Amino acid sequence: MLDMKYLRNHFADVKAKLQHRGEDLSELEHFGELDEKRRKLIAESESLKAKRNDVSKQIPKLKKEGKDADAVIQEMREVGDKIASLDDELKAIESQLEQLMLSIPNIPHESVPVGEDEDDNEQVRKWGEHPEFSFKAQPHWDIATDLDILDFERAAKVTGSRFVFYKGLGARLERALMNFMMDLHADEHGYEEMLPPYIVNRMSLTGTGQLPKFSEDVFKLEDWDYFLIPTAEVPVTNYYGDEILQSADLPKKYVAFSGCFRSEAGSAGRDTRGLIRQHQFNKVELVHFTKPEDSYDTLEELTEHAEEVLRRLKLPYRVMNMCTADLGFTAAKKYDIEVWMPAQNTYREISSCSNFEDFQARRAGIRFRREADKKPEFVHTLNGSGLAIGRTVAAILENYQQKDGTVIVPEVLRPYMGGKDVLR
């Protein structure tokens, strides 16, 4: 959520910056009117309340002195009715204004390229050499099905499309990656480890920005106002919701493993085969809480930590600075890390590293105090995948595949694989 005072005072400027996102901003036009109406109603109602408080203090005195208070009480009854009707009106305006504010996306940072679609994303850097094959590179779903380490068919029977069973060394590989990534970030990058709830309430999803606008993307539990998490970002960021942290507490950095659940509404027909777009997948997520002045340095650090996973796995990748059209609703700046997928002859997103500045913190109420007598300020929140595990499995299968259909296990994973060096 944007700062209402800032929006009021810099309306034209904010609007111009939001327009680069290419989203419909017609809602935004109602802001001025609602904001003004709200403040007018508050002023009216509160001056009546001040009067009521004042007169109500006199009533017991009048009574004590044996004077008649009926006329005053009658007058206050009318004042009370007037207050009630103003407050009703105010409540309606405020809920409209809140809906509006919750639907306005974040302002892109000045270092974000202005663009119209994903073709305008800028490559920041590139790492690693594409593997050369003396044979036609196979897609990971064929490799895995042949090795009998992934079973999409039976998952479709047991649940439905976009689900998978990991089997044998496939399951082992997924678990090895989880442990490798968690160890790397916890032991070497200095993150505190966390295992969050997989189910969250409406307020948490509103805090991180998935709700109210993107309700069709998340799974909701029947008869409960609870949702399956689409990413550990949601529980971990909201961990400090409605709290005021001490200056010395910051920065805070967490690494969380979780299952992730996404409805993939609107993705029908895209990536229907393989591990790329599943309703359920595992992910190791990095979440930072920083002081405002540190968040852009932190974004670089966070992205670096995610890249390190790919470098140790020796998987080629590139880093993209996402343009205004491809930023996502909540981010002020976002780097996507894309891993090379030989069979598709293309790079695919494997991590998204974003700085939300105070956008999520304002929604979730995450603040800190610089000094004991200072006003609290909103923290900046950031997160990034470090990494999506299913997609990493897919990338390993495709980049490490051999002519005979086996797959070499990346060296760093072998200790986690009971010493196995090849999937066969």
Catalytic residue numbers, as ranges: 262, 277, 349, 352, 391
Q: Decide: is 203 part of the binding site for RNA (CB under 7 A).
A: no
Tokens 């509103």 identify what position? 206
The answer to whether 105 and 21 are in contact (CB under 8 A) is yes
Nearest CB to RNA, comparing residues 87 and 142: 87
50, 92, 158, 195: which one contacts RNA (CB under 7 A)?
50
Q: Are strands 346-357 and 280-290 parallel, antiparallel or unpaired?
A: unpaired
DSSP symbols for 319-352:
EEE--GGGS-SS-SEEEEEEEEEGGGTEEEEEEE
Alpha-carbon distances of 269 from 371, 391, 392, rounded to whole Å? 54, 18, 22
Q: Decide: is 346 part of the binding site for RNA (CB under 7 A).
A: no
80, 113, 128, 292: which one contacts RNA (CB under 7 A)?
80
Q: Decide: is 65 part of the binding site for RNA (CB under 7 A).
A: no
Q: Decide: is 96 part of the binding site for RNA (CB under 7 A).
A: no
CB of 365 to RNA, least distance (A): 9
Alpha-carbon distances of 236 from 85, 199, 307, rounded to whole Å? 41, 12, 21
Q: Which stretch binds RNA (CB under 7 A): 58-66, 98-106, 119-127, 207-215?
A: 58-66
Smallest Cα–Cα separation from 282: which of 254, 261, 309, 304? 261
Nearest CB to RNA, comparing residues 206 and 278: 206
CB of 367 to RNA, least distance (A): 7
Tokens 């590179």 identify what position? 137
Tokens 């493993």 identify what position? 257
Q: Decide: is 379 part of the binding site for RNA (CB under 7 A).
A: no
Smallest Cα–Cα separation from 171: which of 389, 407, 404? 389
Q: Per-residue contact track with RNA, 226 to 255, x per CB under 7 A?
A: ------------------x-----------
Tokens of 183: 């160890």
CB of 73 to RNA, least distance (A): 4
Q: Decide: is 376 part of the binding site for RNA (CB under 7 A).
A: yes
Helix (H) or strand (E) holding 122: strand 122-127
Q: Which stretch binds RNA (CB under 7 A): 10-18, 72-80, 130-138, 153-161?
A: 72-80
Q: Decide: is 292 part of the binding site for RNA (CB under 7 A).
A: no
Binding site for RNA (CB under 7 A): 4-5, 39, 42-43, 46-47, 49-50, 52-57, 59-60, 63, 73, 76-77, 79-80, 84, 91, 244, 367, 369, 375-376
